Amino acid sequence: MKHKGFIFDMDGVVVDNHSFHFKAWMEFSKKYDFPLDAEIYRDTFNGKTNADLFRMIFGNISDQKIKQYGDEKESWYQELYKNEMKPHTGLLDFLKFLKDNHLKIALGTSAPTMNVNFTLDSLSLRDFFDVIVDGPMVSQGKPHPQVYELCAKGLGLNPKDCVVFEDSLAGLQSGKSAGCSIIGVATSHTEQELKSHVSQIIRDFNDSTVFHL
């Protein structure tokens, strides 16, 4: 393996869960009466922190309001997803391979801490990750490179020695701007949609190319 660090986004990478987030956001949009459909969600919601999203929707609201809205939306999401949750195809075998080869692993996500805990602890994945950087830990969400810069720093590595697995366009830009290699994961976007943004694309972690990065 030419890379020393392997950094995973969570939503759409560790778990293929976008349809459940979309359902929760649609319920939220109906309650608070703002326009949302699959195209808007795909193009403007993916990869962003809740703080960025709620300010985009409601304007310059307080941190208290952001937390209130976030807790409400994520509670809906967790209720929808809790009985369907599973690691993305091939992920467990790949994480075990990385651990067995003493490679460093990080999670770099815009998701709120409550969803990170929900995902990692429900699936018993936490022990695989040497470093976890989530939404509340960054002051600038994706596509800004901060999240992946913090991951590389936490791993004690130069970003150029790390590879980022991302499904969102904002996340791919974040990883690229941080100086990492980037791999597109075709979950929230099709391979065709990703092609103009990234040269290497996988559908899931059963793709044998991931074992030679």
Token pair recorded at residue 137:
């830990």
> pLDDT tens, 134-155?
999 999 999 999 999 999 999 9
Instruction: Choose from 126-130, 141-145, 167-171 the range with maximum mean pLDDT.
Output: 126-130
pLDDT given for residue 155 in this prediction? 98
Of the pLDDT bands very low, low, confident and very high (cuts 50, 70, 90), residue 36 is: very high
Backbone dihedral angles phi then psi of residue 44, each to the nearest 5 degrees? -125, -15
Domain co-membership, 188 together with 140: yes
Segment 107-135 shows an average pLDDT of 97
Q: Are residues 92 and 54 in the same domain?
A: no
Angle at 48 between CA 22 and CA 65, to 5 degrees: 85
User: Mean pLDDT over all residues of the chain?
Assistant: 95
* pLDDT value, residue 203: 96
Res 47: pLDDT? 79
- The pTM (predicted TM-score) of the whole model is 0.92
Q: Residue 58 belongs to what domain range? A: 18-81
Q: Which two tokens stand for residue 142?
A: 């994706």
Overall average pLDDT of the 162-167 stretch: 97
Q: Indicate whether 104 and 155 sit together in one domain.
A: yes
> Domain holding 100: CATH number?
3.40.50.1000
Q: What SS3 string covers 121-145?
A: HHCCCHHHCCEEECHHHCCCCCCCC
139 and 181 fall within a common domain: yes
Q: How many domains are there within the chain?
A: 2
Contact status, residue 178 vs residue 161, Cβ threshold 8 Å: no
Check which CATH number belongs to the domain holding 64 and give it.
1.10.150
Asked if 76 and 99 sit in the same domain, the reply is no
CA distances to 176, 181, 187, 196, 201 from 193, rounded to whole Å, are: 17, 19, 11, 7, 11
Q: Are 99 and 199 contained in the same domain?
A: yes
pLDDT in the model for residue 115 = 96
Q: Please report, rounded to a whole number, the percentage of residues in the chain having pLDDT higher than 70.
A: 100
CA distance 213 to 210: 6
What per-residue confidence (pLDDT) applies to 1?
80
